[in-house]
Structure 1
Amino acid sequence: MKLADTEHTTRSWRIHEIAGDFDLEDVWALETPGGPDDFAKLVKQFSSGNFPDGAPLIVRALWSLRWKLGALFRLDGRDSGLDTRVGSLRDRLPENLRDTPTGPDEDWLPFTPLYRLDDEFAAEMANRTMHGVMHIAWVEDGRGGYRGQMAVLVKPNGLFGRTYMGFIKPFRYLFVYPALMRMIAREWQNS
């Protein structure tokens, strides 16, 4: 379920110290009911998930089209990513976050993990259109339990990046996010 931005901005997440100059694109409640110690399970699920392969055909098609257009327009080359076009946010980490685990052992491509705490995880990616952060958190659900929450933060790369982000927004809301949310809930329930 889509949440108000304040569900992310009013919490004292460490990501605010690191990516304060990024735009908050989206905040989502994840259907991942659990207890106070289940956050590591959620982070592991994200890294070993079946997206986009397990998503509906329309989402797989959009994802495939995005990667093909990315190759055609050279949006995702080595010279457009982290430590080439933009520096990694790892360089901004406060000293007390630099030695935290960065995530599970699974491959997070295209994301690069930044840090992981008991209730917060962040990973970044960059290409010619933007520098983005996926922030996953573990929050009390108001009914005595906990659930996951996902926020997407971006720093568009100039006018082209802002135009691109505006262009893909309807596709994210109509197809990608609903499929992703259903898949996260299904995988959580089956684990």
Structure 2
Amino acid sequence: MRLPRTAYTSRPWRSHEFASDFRAEDVWALPTPGGPDDLTHLVHQFASDAPEEGAPIEGAVPRLLFKVRWRLGALLGWDRPSAGIGTRVRTLRDRLPEDLRDGTRGPDLRAVPFTSVYQTHDEWLAESANRTVHMAMHIGWVPDADGGYHGVLTVLVKPNGRLGSLYMLGIKPFRYLGVYPALLRQIGREWRAGAAARATG
């Protein structure tokens, strides 16, 4: 379920301390019901590329959209190493307060190019950059109304000038109509499978 930006901005996440120049582009409640200590399971689910041979999301249409995006990126040079983290932009780890920098960093994503920045008991942040945008994926673990917990995914973006702003505007309908619905279905399916395995293990 899509949430208002305030679902991210109104909570006292540590990311507010050093990423105020990023805007919350998309906020989604994740179908991942669990207990207060289950964020680590969700983080490892995101970091694993085992499901479906590492395909980032299910469905023919989203996979086609990703394929088109990577082809365009290769053609236009959007994803060259010189446009990424540590080259075009500095890593967010350089901005971390000391306690986060010395704490758990968390796993990198293998199926898609995101590098972990930090992980706490109820937050995880990973980042990626290309010629169009510096992006951070924030996963918060929040309480439900019924006493349980679930994940909230926030995509934070810092577009690279006019090109980045036009890029984010251009892909907006594809994100909402093709990518996010399939992504959330896959997250929910893998979460249920993982919860069942943990319950029997």
TM-score (norm 1): 0.96
String of CA shifts for 1:119-170, please: whole Å, max 9, x gaps.
Answer: 0000000000000000001100111100011000000000010000000000
Q: Give the fraction of aligned pairs with identical amino acids, expressed as a percent.
A: 55
Alpha-carbon offset, residue 104 of structure 1:
3.2
Alpha-carbon offset, residue 83 of structure 1:
1.1
Task: Report what 2:135 is aligned to.
Answer: 132
Alpha-carbon offset, residue 106 of structure 1:
6.2
Off by >6 Å, runs of 4+ in structure 1 = none
Alpha-carbon offset, residue 52 of structure 1:
3.6
1:90-105 equivalence runs, <5 A: 90-104=93-107
Residues 52/168 of structure 1: CA separation in 2 closer, same or farther (3 Å cut): farther
Task: Report what 1:41 is aligned to.
Answer: 41
Unaligned 5+ segments in structure 1 are none
Alpha-carbon offset, residue 175 of structure 1:
0.4
Residue 183 (structure 1) aligned with residue 186 (structure 2): yes
Task: Report what 1:116 is aligned to.
Answer: 119
Cα separation, 2, equivalents of 1:96 and 1:35: 25
Task: Report what 2:150 is aligned to.
Answer: 147
Cα separation, 2, equivalents of 1:25 and 1:170: 13
Cα separation, 1, equivalents of 2:175 and 2:111: 20
Cα separation, 2, equivalents of 1:131 and 1:104: 19
Amino acid at match of 2:101: R
Secondary structure at the residue paired with 1:37? coil
Task: Report what 2:21 is aligned to.
Answer: 21
Equivalenced residue count is 191
String of CA shifts for 1:59-103, please: whole Å, max 9, x gaps.
Answer: 111111111110000000010001111111111000111011111
Cα separation, 2, equivalents of 1:44 and 1:28: 19
Cα separation, 2, equivalents of 1:119 and 1:89: 19
